[in-house]
Amino acid sequence: MSRRSSVLLMLLISVIGYMTGASINLSVSPQRGKNHIEVGDMFYLYITLTDIDQAPNRPNLTGAKLAYFDRTSQQSSFQSVNGVTSKSYKATYTATLRAEKEGTFSYGPISIGGIKSNQVKYSIGPKSSQSNVYNAQNTNTSTDDDSKPKFIGKGDGNLFLKATVSESTAFELQALVYTVKLYTTYDAIKFIGATAAPKFDGFVVEESKDISNSLTFETYQGKNYATAIIARYIIFPQITGNLKITGNTYTISVDRREYYHDAFWGNMSYSTPLQLNVTPNDLIINVKALPEPKPVDFSGGVGTFSISSELNNSDFKTNQAASIIYKVHGTGNIKYVQLPDLSALYPPELEVYSPKTSQNISVGSTSVSGDVTFDYSFMPLDEGNFNIPEVKFVYFNPESARYETSIAKGYVISVGKGADNGNKLLKKLKFDSQLQNVSIKSLRKEYSTYNKSFLYWLGYIIPSILLLLIYLIYLRYAALHADMISFNSRRADKLARKRLKKAHTALKNGNSDKFYDELLVALWGYLSDKLKMPTSELMRENIRNMMMSKNVSDNLVEMFINLIDEAEFAKYSSVNGSDNMIKIYNEAINTINTIEKELKK
């Protein structure tokens, strides 16, 4: 049963063979190591004939020139099944062509011995710019996928470059490290040169010089490679979104070892120089914006940082510069961190100048770290105790995705009086931003000075006139006064007699009090007029002196003074006889008369 069925199957196959037999198949393939045809490339047209004995004509393809045409393989088979002999024959002709024109063309169908072939289409692309001299050795195993390294070398990649970045998703301003690593199985690398820098769009780039030249060995996809880092860049994304880094092309010269079997020496090898153009893979980085709201005093630092302060001086004096150092230490975009505006933070009595900045930054394989020193100098403008405030350094930590703060401690300094050496640069300078009160009264459109106002000149005129008037009055008064005195002096005895008359009437009436009063008034008045002295200034001593100077005899003066004494004594005593009164009255008249006579001499 089983035997019969197998025979049946054989028969069936041979029948199908007869029925399908005699066919022509056309196919086009680009040169090895490429998946498309470019102008100038060689490509192949395969014509496979089945059960046709004839040879095809030399094909004539548009856009290409035939270089070589020959039969490349031939196979025939004979089968004898149950006495039935079948023969099959297959031949392949290969046409080697050089692409000459761009475009999409088709070839066929062709017919040989009444049998028609299929039609092939082929397209010739433009000449690629990256074609190189050694393109015979270049084989791209996977060129479609940009994100994979471009393998260059024999078959499975003997040399390639791989680009990596420390984080594929990152925050704005976060420091990233872009590394290009060389993987090779070749013996010796003689030269590596980059034709251009990689294209970093939207990044700030720092090239790291920290590249070791020694090779390390690494297994990649099951194969051992010698590896070396050939470029390292520290990149800081400046904008958000998906940012692309395009790898640059490196020219690498290597030695390729070829092995062969020598009949005499056995297995031998030699090396041939090889120049390769290699491009690392492109990378796409997803950059996220820093979370909002940003703190007001955000320093721009993304990473982990700490700040410390150091005050060098201990002795502060006015107009003498001192320095304070702020040191930011950490990992991240440390080169771009900024301190808050210290001149706004510090008390106005301390003038802060712009800092000297020094950086000590090293680039590791995954991060940038180091410290930045801000050396501020400041100048105390006033004496007293001042508070140097804490300085807050606000940065964004991408690991915790939060804003964090590091604080540099503050100080209290006491400023003593410094030397005031008159240096112009060290003069007290500060901007007083306070406004002054504008009083409405003080606003003037026209400015006139006092010396042009009449009122001002009145200030001179009035006192002058007043003084003049007073002086004139004074002169007049003085003249008048002088007249009065001499007049009175001349009329002194007349006046005295007048007063004595009054005393006489008092005597007649027997009024002793009034009599003495009038008598004394007459006597004193006489002296006052005669000596040109006010009555109040008259005293017994100066009467004597004055009389002497007027050549009045000594005993006469004694008599006069005695008379006054007697009158005053009688006035206050109880002895008031009318005889005594008459006696004193006569005496007074006699004394005045004799004085008059003596003065007239």
Partner 1 sequence: MIRTYKSCIIKILLLFFINIIFINGALAAHIESADSAYKTGHYDQAVTLYNEILKNEGSSSELYYNLGNAYAKIGDYGNAVLCYLRSLRLDPSNKNAKENLNYIESKVIETNNSELKDKKLSLDAENPSFFYSVRMFISENHLSDTWAIWALVCFLVFIACLSCYLFCKNVIIRKIGFFGGIFFIFISILTLIFSFIASSYKSNQGVIISPKVKLLSEASSNSKENPVFLTRGTRMTILDIYPTDSNEPKWYKVRLNSDFVGWIEASDFIPVDK
Q: Which residues bind partner 1 (CB under 8 A)?
A: 427-440, 442-447, 449-452, 456, 459-460, 463-464, 467, 470-471, 474
Find the shortest distance in angstroms from Cβ 347 to partner 1: 17
Listed residue (515, 525, 519, 517) closest to 493, CA to CA: 525
Q: Which C-beta is closer to partner 1: that of 400 or that of 442?
A: 442
How far apart, in whole angstroms, are the C-alpha atoms of residue 220 and residue 185? 11
470 versus 484: smaller Cβ distance to partner 1:
470
Specify whether the backbone of 439 is left (phi greater than 0), alpha (psi in -120 to 50) or beta.
Answer: beta
Least distance between partner 1 and beta carbon 320 (Å): 18
- Cβ 488 to partner 1, closest distance in Å? 22
Length of the chain as a residue count = 601
CA distance linking residue 585 with residue 145, whole number of Å: 162
Task: Provide, rounded to whole angstroms, the least separation between the CB of residue 500 and partner 1.
Answer: 36
CB of 424 to partner 1, least distance (A): 9
Residues 175 and 234: beta-carbon distance below 8 Å: yes
Residue 196 CA to residue 253 CA, distance in Å, equals 17
**Residues near 341 by beta carbon (within 8 Å), at least 6 away in sequence:** none
Shortest Å distance, C-beta 463 to partner 1 = 5
Is 427 or 501 the residue whose CB approaches partner 1 more closely? 427
Q: How far is the CB of 536 from partner 1 (least distance, A)?
A: 18
Residue among 296 and 435 whose Cβ is closer to partner 1: 435
Q: Compare residues 145 and 446 and give the one whose CB is closer to partner 1.
A: 446
From the CB of 180, what's the least distance to partner 1, in Å? Answer: 43
Residue 396, amino acid: F
Burial class (CB in 10 A: 0-12, 13-18, 19+), 222: exposed
Cα 232 to Cα 365: distance, rounded to the nearest angstrom: 8
- Strand ranges in 238-383 using DSSP code E only, listed in sequence order: 241-246, 250-262, 266-278, 283-288, 298-311, 316-317, 322-332, 350-352, 356-363, 368-380
Tokens at residue 505, please? Answer: 């009437």
Measured distance CA(80)–CA(249) in Å, rounded: 61
Q: Considering beta carbons, is residue 85 or 436 the nearer one to partner 1?
A: 436
Backbone Cα Rg of the chain: 68
Give me the phi and psi of 417, to 5 degrees please: -75, 130
Which is closer to partner 1, CB of 1 or CB of 440?
Answer: 440
Q: Which is nearer to partner 1, 3 or 452 (CB)?
A: 452
* Neighbouring-strand partners of residue 150: none
Q: Which is nearer to partner 1, 445 or 481 (CB)?
A: 445
Contact 193, 210 (CB under 8 A): no
Q: Are 522 and 496 in contact (CB under 8 A)?
A: yes
> What is the spatial distance between Cα 94 and Cα 232, in angstroms, rounded to a whole number?
49
Q: Provide, rounded to whole angstroms, the least separation between the CB of residue 485 and partner 1.
A: 16
Check: CB of residue 595 under 8 Å from CB of residue 558.
Answer: no
Nearer Cβ to partner 1 (2/437): 437
Sign for the CA dihedral angle at 217, 232, 209, 304 comes to negative
Query: At its nearest, how many Å lie between partner 1 and the CB of residue 460?
Result: 6
